[in-house]
C-alpha cells in the first residue's frame, strides 16, 4: 500500500529525513519509534503532504502511484489520513460542519453527490458512539478549548468518519490518560481491517499494548536504523534509545 523509497526531505535547507525505506502492506500495523528530533513527525507530515517540507530525493508510492507531487487534500482523497500530534484549533467552525465539509469535498473529488443529511447524521451518531464522544461536543468549535485527550479522541473520530486506507497516528497517545487511551485504541482497533493499514508513531511502548504492531521500526537521525517485531518495542521501553545510538554511531 505505502512504499517509501530512499526518502530525503528538508525544511528551510535543513535535511531531516536522510534516506527512509519503508513498506506498509494492507492489513498491517507498523510502529515507528525513536528519540526526540529523530524525524518521526517530519516523516508523518511528508507523507501527508505538508508543503513546507521539500522532498529532495526518493519517492513515496501509495497504492502503486507516486504521490510526491500531490497536494495534501488529494492525498486525503486517495485515503491517506494523518492524526496530528497537535491538532489545530479552528474557532468558529463546529466539529460537525468541519466533518460535513471534509466528507463532501472527498465525495466531490470522487465525482459523488453530497452525502444526504440523514446519512451524515447517522454516520456522525455511529462514529461518535464508537469514540464515546458526547453529542454536545460536536457542535463546539473544532478543537477550541478541548483538553489534550478530547483533541486526540476527536482526531480518531475524524479518522472513523473518513475511513482512510492508511492512517498515520502521530503521537496519538501523548496527553491521554489511561481511560482515553483505551477508548482511542479501541476505536482504532475496531476500524482496522485487512484492507487498511495503520502507522503508529510513538515515543513509548504504552500505546502498543493496545494497538499491537506487526512491525516496529526505530528512526534515528532521519533514518530507520532498526526494524523488528513488537518485542523490539519492549526492549526499547526497557533499555531506552542509547544502545541504538551507540550501535549506529559505532
146 binds other proteins (CB under 8 A): no
Give the cell for residue 197: 493499514
Give the cell for residue 88: 489545530
Q: Which stretch binds other proteins (CB under 8 A): 80-88, 127-135, 189-197, 199-207?
A: 80-88
The C-alpha angle 207, 50, 184, rounded to 5 degrees, equals 20
Q: Which stretch binds other proteins (CB under 8 A): 5-13, 47-55, 181-189, 193-201?
A: 47-55
The 10 Å CB-count burial string (b at 16+, else e) for 78-113 is bbbbbbbbebeeeeeebbbebbbeebeebeeeeeee
187 binds other proteins (CB under 8 A): no
Closest CA to 193 of 163, 238, 148: 163
* Selected binder of other proteins within 72, 130, 191, 225 (CB under 8 A): 72
Can you tell me the distance from the alpha carbon of 171 to that of 178, in angstroms, rounded to the nearest whole number? Answer: 15
191 binds other proteins (CB under 8 A): no
Tally of CB atoms within 10 A around 74: 13
The full 3-state SS of 47-67, as one line of letters, equals HHCCCCCEEEEEEEEECCEEC
Question: Site mask, other proteins, residues 83-122, x = CB under 8 A?
Answer: -x--xxxxxxx---xx-xxxxxxx--x----x--------
Q: Which is nearer to other proteins, 48 or 216 (CB)?
A: 48
145 binds other proteins (CB under 8 A): no
CB of 48 to other proteins, least distance (A): 5
Q: Which is nearer to other proteins, 97 or 221 (CB)?
A: 97
Residues that bind other proteins (CB under 8 A): 45, 48-52, 71-73, 75-77, 81-82, 84, 87-93, 97-98, 100-106, 109, 114, 141, 158, 162
Amino acid at each position: 500500500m505505502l512504499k517509501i523509497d530512499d526518502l530525503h526531505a528538508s525544511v528551510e535547507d535543513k535535511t531531516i529525513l536522510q534516506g527512509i525505506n519503508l513498506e506498509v502492506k494492507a492489513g498491517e500495523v507498523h510502529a515507528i519509534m525513536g528519540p526526540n528530533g529523530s524525524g518521526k513527525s517530519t516523516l508523518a507530515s511528508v507523507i501527508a503532504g505538508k508543503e513546507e517540507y521539500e522532498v529532495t530525493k526518493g519517492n513515496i508510492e501509495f497504492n502503486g502511484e507516486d504521490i510526491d507531487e500531490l497536494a495534501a487534500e488529494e492525498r486525503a482523497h486517495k485515503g491517506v489520513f494523518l492524526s496530528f500530534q497537535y491538532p489545530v484549533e479552528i474557532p468558529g467552525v463546529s466539529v460537525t460542519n468541519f466533518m460535513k465539509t471534509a466528507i463532501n469535498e472527498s465525495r466531490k473529488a470522487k465525482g459523488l453527490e453530497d452525502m444526504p443529511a440523514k446519512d451524515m447524521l447517522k454516520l456522525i451518531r455511529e462514529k461518535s458512539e464508537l469514540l464515546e464522544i458526547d453529542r454536545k461536543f460536536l457542535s463546539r468549535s473544532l478543537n477550541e478549548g478541548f483538553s489534550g485527550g478530547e483533541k486526540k479522541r476527536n482526531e480518531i473520530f475524524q479518522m472513523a468518519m473518513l475511513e482512510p486506507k492508511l492512517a498515520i497516528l502521530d503521537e496519538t497517545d501523548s496527553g491521554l490518560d489511561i481511560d482515553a487511551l483505551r477508548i482511542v485504541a479501541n476505536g482504532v482497533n475496531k476500524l482496522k481491517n485487512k484492507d487498511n493499514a495503520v502507522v503508529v508513531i510513538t515515543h513509548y511502548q504504552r500505546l502498543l499494548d493496545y494497538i499491537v504492531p506487526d512491525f516496529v521500526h526505530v528512526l534515528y537521525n532521519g533514518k530507520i536504523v532498526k526494524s523488528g517485531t513488537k518485542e523490539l518495542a519492549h526492549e526499547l521501553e526497557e533499555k531506552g534509545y542509547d544502545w541504538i545510538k551507540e550501535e549506529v554511531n559505532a
